[in-house]
């Protein structure tokens, strides 16, 4: 895209990117040259019939067309789900994933379209929200496609009939995101909230999230049970229920408590608190999209334990293999262990799948082997968590910051290597990636040293074309291979990915023999600030309400 932009006259670039001249009439052919799919873009805008329009005109039209495409996609998926020939369980599960994901896309596109229809100038938070939702729309569509492509031909003769139209819609979503990204809808929309050198001193480690005491606005007014940090924080709680596996609480299962929460509340309502007492809960927990602003607090790691064992080998899609699924906006999870016990031999087996915007996990443990933590989409924050795994065990395409976490490397199967991350960014305009900040990478305390001698461990590999992962101020044990990073397949994505390291420490952090791919970088402080809580997730705006401690900038 950059090379195409450089071919435009400088006066036109100024006209495109600086208000109010960005609202001047521009021909479709001209503006389509800097979208990922110029020919498709031109054909879309030809349906609008103007000889020329403004960037905002084009953006609104493309977004409206994308919404219609999402509605049509859902209808197509529903059609195939109802066919008598759709009888294979794996096919049904993949289609059900698509139905859920495309339904989310209808919500996200409707929300974003309503926002941009109301004004020509968004504030920074509206712009961040809209860009995040449009990035997630593409992620959802790609996830649907991945599930269908994984079906064996013998299991689903209709998968190819779905793949072509759904793939075309994915490209249309990319055009829509490009128009929003470059349409000057809000302040600094092209660069997000990234800092200049003069701003740095304001965002060193100056906020640990410790606020005044908890306030509970509830008739029940029970004692809040949680960590000291949460107790010291000003967290508004509207109601609280207790889950105990022996039946002595309000509910015996976590899902029953989730079902009791009110639907579609907003952040002003306060959190619906679910206290999960110590015990082992053998259930698959789901926080659906309409259960917003739930806070779930357990009795501690290895005290409150949620177990599941679904896996791809046993017929589940990666997407629906998770023990714990959260989609509802504003979720906060504290003091729990969540496991997928399927084991390494069952390959993809997710412990937690997170597709909830502005979601937070604090002092939790996620245990699995391959694909442990699926940070699927939208803005996420993890603090003081333990993540165990082997292959691609932190993966997905959200805008994710892991801070002060322990990343534990387990022993993989024979002839396997460990890859910590497999980030799934598919579009250069998506605001997504994995930022690992001030974490510790090591083997579990009870592991046998000799078992690791033949295992190679890498910081990550590119699952998708624009994979983006950054390690900052993190301790890396000697287990990390000197190359640091692993290719996915040949030279796939090596020039389009963005992998970076900044001021890491420990024997595995030596960059002398790192890969020399075009997309690999050793970055400076200015670039590292781009991937902090403040810049990458806008967490300073929503994390204080959770009571979870955080550092919004760099350590030093």
Calculated CA dihedral for residues 121, 381, 547, 290, nearest 10 degrees: 70
| pLDDT recorded at residue 351 | 98
| pLDDT recorded at residue 61 | 93
| pLDDT recorded at residue 19 | 41
CA 363 to chain centre: 19
57 is catalytic: no
Asked if 10 and 21 count as a contact pair (C-beta separation under 8 A), the reply is: no
pLDDT, tens digit, 9 for 90 and up, residues 157-200: 666 678 999 999 999 999 999 999 988 787 654 444 444 433 44
> At CB < 8 A and 24+ separation, what contacts does 91-95 make?
91/151, 91/155, 91/156, 91/159, 93/147, 93/315, 93/316, 93/317, 93/320, 94/147, 94/148, 94/150, 94/151, 94/156, 94/159, 94/317, 95/148
| pLDDT recorded at residue 119 | 86
Structural element, H or E, at residue 265? none
| pLDDT recorded at residue 157 | 60
pLDDT, tens digit, 9 for 90 and up, residues 264-296: 998 888 999 999 999 999 999 999 999 999 999
Question: How confident is residue 48, by pLDDT bands cut at 50, 70 and 90?
Answer: confident
Asked if 138 and 176 count as a contact pair (C-beta separation under 8 A), the reply is: no
d(CA 412, CA 123): 47
pLDDT over 50 (residue 431): yes
Helices assigned H by DSSP within 122-183: 124-149, 159-181
CA distance to 155, 233, 433, per residue, from 540 (Å):
47, 15, 18
| pLDDT recorded at residue 451 | 65
| pLDDT recorded at residue 207 | 36
pLDDT over 60 (residue 540): yes
pLDDT over 80 (residue 21): no
pLDDT, tens digit, 9 for 90 and up, residues 210-256: 322 333 333 333 444 445 455 545 788 999 999 999 999 999 999 99
Encode 60-73: b = buried (16+ Cβ within 10 Å), e = exposed. bbbbebbbebbeeb
Poorest-pLDDT segment among 198-212, 363-377, 384-398: 198-212
Percent of residues, the chain, with pLDDT higher than 90 = 71
pLDDT over 80 (residue 554): yes
Q: What is the mean pLDDT of the chain?
A: 86
Percent of residues, the chain, with pLDDT higher than 70 = 84
Asked if 370 and 391 count as a contact pair (C-beta separation under 8 A), the reply is: yes
Candidates 392, 477, 491, 527; catalytic one: 392
3-state SS, residue 529? helix
Residue 485 or 414, more confident? 485
pLDDT, tens digit, 9 for 90 and up, residues 134-152: 999 999 999 999 999 888 6
Cis peptide before 20 (omega within 30 of 0): yes
| pLDDT recorded at residue 217 | 37
Q: Which of 190, 183, 228, 189 is nearest to 208 (CA)?
A: 228
pLDDT, tens digit, 9 for 90 and up, residues 318-340: 999 999 999 999 999 999 999 99
Average pLDDT rounded to a whole number, residues 50-76: 90
pLDDT over 70 (residue 18): no
pLDDT, tens digit, 9 for 90 and up, residues 476-501: 999 999 999 999 999 999 999 999 99
pLDDT over 90 (residue 33): no
């Amino acid at each position: 895209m950059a090379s195409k932009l450089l071919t435009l006259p400088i006066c036109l670039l100024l006209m495109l990117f600086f208000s109010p001249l960005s609202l001047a009439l521009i021909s479709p052919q001209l503006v389509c040259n800097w979208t990922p799919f110029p020919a498709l873009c031109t054909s879309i805008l030809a349906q609008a019939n103007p000889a020329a329009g403004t960037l905002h005109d084009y953006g609104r039209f493309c977004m409206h067309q994308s919404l219609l495409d999402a509605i049509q996609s859902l209808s197509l998926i529903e059609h195939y789900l109802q066919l008598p020939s759709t009888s294979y369980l794996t096919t049904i599960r993949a289609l059900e994933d698509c139905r859920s994901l495309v339904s989310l896309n209808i919500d996200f596109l409707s929300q974003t379209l309503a926002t941009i229809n109301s004004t020509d100038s968004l504030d920074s938070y509206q712009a961040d929200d809209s860009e995040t939702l449009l990035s997630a729309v593409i992620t959802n569509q790609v996830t649907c496609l991945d599930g269908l492509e994984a079906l064996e031909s013998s299991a689903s003769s209709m998968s190819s009939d779905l793949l072509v139209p759904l793939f075309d819609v994915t490209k249309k979503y990319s055009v829509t995101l490009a128009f929003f990204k470059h349409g000057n809808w809000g302040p600094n929309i092209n660069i997000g909230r990234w800092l200049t050198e003069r701003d740095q001193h304001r965002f060193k480690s100056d906020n640990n999230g410790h606020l005044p005491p908890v306030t509970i606005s509830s008739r029940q007014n029970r004692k809040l049970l949680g960590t000291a940090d949460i107790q010291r924080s000003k967290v508004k709680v509207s109601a609280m229920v207790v889950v105990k596996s022996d039946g002595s609480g309000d509910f015996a299962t976590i899902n029953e408590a989730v079902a009791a929460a009110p639907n579609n509340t907003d952040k002003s309502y306060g959190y619906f608190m679910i206290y999960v007492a110590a015990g082992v809960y053998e259930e698959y927990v789901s926080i659906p999209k309409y259960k917003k602003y739930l806070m779930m607090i357990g009795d501690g790691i290895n005290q409150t334990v949620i177990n599941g064992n679904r896996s791809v080998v046993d017929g589940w899609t990666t997407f629906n293999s998770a023990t714990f699924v959260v989609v509802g906006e504003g979720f906060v999870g504290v003091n729990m262990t969540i496991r997928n016990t399927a084991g390494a031999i069952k390959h993809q087996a997710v412990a937690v799948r997170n597709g909830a915007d502005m979601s937070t996990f604090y002092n939790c443990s996620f245990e699995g082997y391959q694909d442990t933590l699926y940070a699927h989409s939208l803005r996420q924050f993890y603090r003081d968590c333990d993540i165990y795994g082997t292959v691609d065990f932190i993966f997905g395409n959200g805008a994710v910051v892991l801070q002060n976490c322990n990343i534990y490397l387990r022993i993989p199967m024979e002839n396997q290597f460990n890859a910590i991350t497999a980030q799934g960014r598919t579009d250069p305009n998506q605001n997504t990636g994995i930022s690992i900040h001030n974490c510790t990478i090591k083997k579990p305390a009870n592991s046998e040293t000799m078992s690791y001698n033949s295992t190679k461990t890498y910081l990550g590999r590119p699952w998708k074309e624009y994979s983006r992962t950054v390690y900052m101020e993190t301790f890396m044990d000697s287990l990390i291979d000197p190359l640091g990073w692993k290719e996915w397949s040949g030279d796939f994505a090596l020039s389009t990915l963005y992998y970076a390291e900044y001021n890491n420490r420990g024997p595995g952090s030596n960059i002398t023999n790192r890969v020399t791919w075009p997309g690999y970088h050793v970055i400076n402080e200015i670039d590292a600030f781009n991937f902090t809580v403040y810049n990458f997730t806008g967490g300073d705006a929503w994390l204080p309400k959770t009571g979870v401690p955080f550092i919004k900038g760099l350590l030093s």
